[in-house]
Structure 1
Amino acid sequence: MLSINVEPGWKKGTKITFEGMGNEVPRLYAADVTFVIAEKQHPVFGRDGDDLELTIEIPLVKALTGCCLPIPLLGGEKMELKIDEIIHPGYEKIITGQGMPTTKEAASRGNLKVRFLINFPTELTDEQRATAVRILGDSSS
């Protein structure tokens, strides 16, 4: 029986070969056995090399006024992410060192890229519309 200890941070396509451990044919050498690492999709994070990607939904009011959000981390813990900037479509926050472990250095990790999906309201009353124009200004004129 062959056993493989998969190291943290191994990427899809990593090959592990056991030389001479495969089928044996009379008068020939035993074949090699090669395993190729495949990645299982994570329910929370995506992966881009050593970086992890996370998409979080937030309401428009938090995108405009800032917020403090609980962010899940790979090990199961959470951290608070304080955002003071306006979160706009395409905005991305990088959390350094919270990605996948790298195989080169045991203590080294990639980054966590947090992206935001802004939930816009589907309806506004006339009063809410007028208030929004008063506060934000009318950019059409």
Structure 2
Amino acid sequence: MGPGYPYPTERIEGGLLSFGGDTDDLTNPFEVRLGNYVDLDLDDGVVGIKALRAIRSEGATRQLLGVILENQPRHPGHPVWYDVHKNGSKVGHMTNGVWSFRRRTMVGFVLVSTDVQVGDSVEVLRNGNWDAGTICDLPFPK
């Protein structure tokens, strides 16, 4: 037995992030549910602490949520971020997606505007097709 990683479906259904896969260079801990682990009481000389304090004070502009795509056939996961739209306007990206054996459809993570709420209907542009979906909280509801 050696080092490994969780099966992609288990990782995504369980809400486990993949840094670099579900985040980009602009992602901060407050956007991806890690704000409780940030010590803002550090010395001002710590690189990035002032920026993190400002984000905490002003609020994050993006948030990590889940999406359940409606009536989607089994489809392999994807290595690229797909655009997510709400009411015709781009609101973020689907960062990862997998076939959910439990739900019998595609599910994934979305990094979207804080204007998007759980229960909202969205459209995801995947491989040139618009796929309807519903935003949900993480981990995915059973």
Relative CO higher for 1 or 2, CA cutoff 8 Å, sep ≥ 6?
A: 2
Shared topology, TM-score over 0.5? Answer: no
After TM superposition, the score normalised by the length of structure 2 is: 0.23
After TM superposition, the score normalised by the length of structure 1 is: 0.23
